[in-house]
Amino acid sequence: MTSEVKVLIDELASRHTLSPDGYEQLIERRTPEAAEHLAKRADAVRREIYGNTVFVRGLIEISNICKNDCLYCGIRASNRNVERYRLDPDTIVACACDGWEYGYRTIVLQGGEETTYYSDDVLCYVIERIIKACPDTAVTVSMGERGRASFQRLYDAGATRYLLRHETANKEHYERLHPSSMSFEHRMQCLRDLRDIGYQVGAGMMVGSPFQTTRHLVDDLVFIETFKPDMVGIGPFIPHHDTPFADEPAGTLELTLYLLSIIRLIHPRVLLPATTALGTIDPLGREKGVQAGANVVMPNLSPVAVRKQYELYDNKICTGDESAVCRGCLARRMAKVGYEVVVDRGDIAGL
Which residues are at the interface with ligand SAH (CB under 6 A)? 72-73, 110, 112-113, 142-144, 164-165, 167, 206, 235, 237-238, 240, 277, 312-313
| Minimum distance of ligand SAH from residue 81's CB (angstroms) | 15
Question: How many whole angstroms separate alpha carbon 112 and alpha carbon 174?
Answer: 18
Cα separations (Å) of 291 from 40, 181, 245?
A: 8, 39, 30
Quick one: 95 or 164, whose CB is closer to ligand SAH?
A: 164
Q: Nearest-CA neighbor of 227 among 258, 206, 261, 202?
A: 202
Question: Across the strands, what pairs with 203?
Answer: 232
Quick one: 187 or 327, whose CB is closer to ligand SAH?
A: 187
Question: How many whole angstroms separate alpha carbon 203 and alpha carbon 167?
Answer: 8
| Minimum distance of ligand SAH from residue 256's CB (angstroms) | 10
Element containing residue 143 per DSSP (H, E): none
Quick one: 39 or 65, whose CB is closer to ligand SAH?
A: 65
| Minimum distance of ligand SAH from residue 190's CB (angstroms) | 9
| Minimum distance of ligand SAH from residue 2's CB (angstroms) | 32
| Minimum distance of ligand SAH from residue 104's CB (angstroms) | 19
| 65 Cα distance to chain centroid | 20
Q: Nearest-CA neighbor of 303 among 24, 67, 93?
A: 93
- What's the CA angle centered on 67, arms 63 and 71, to 5 degrees? 100
| Minimum distance of ligand SAH from residue 113's CB (angstroms) | 5
The CA-based diameter of the chain, rounded to the nearest angstrom, is: 58
Measured distance between the N- and C-terminal CA atoms of the chain, rounded to whole angstroms: 37
Question: Across the strands, what pairs with 342?
Answer: 55
Question: How many whole angstroms separate alpha carbon 345 and alpha carbon 58?
Answer: 11
Q: Nearest-CA neighbor of 309 among 111, 29, 150, 139?
A: 111
Quick one: 194 or 262, whose CB is closer to ligand SAH?
A: 194
Question: How many whole angstroms separate alpha carbon 84 and alpha carbon 69?
Answer: 15
| Minimum distance of ligand SAH from residue 175's CB (angstroms) | 16
Quick one: 240 or 288, whose CB is closer to ligand SAH?
A: 240
Quick one: 12 or 143, whose CB is closer to ligand SAH?
A: 143
Quick one: 238 or 334, whose CB is closer to ligand SAH?
A: 238
| Minimum distance of ligand SAH from residue 23's CB (angstroms) | 21
* Residue 158, phi then psi, degrees to nearest 5: 125, 0
Quick one: 25 or 68, whose CB is closer to ligand SAH?
A: 68
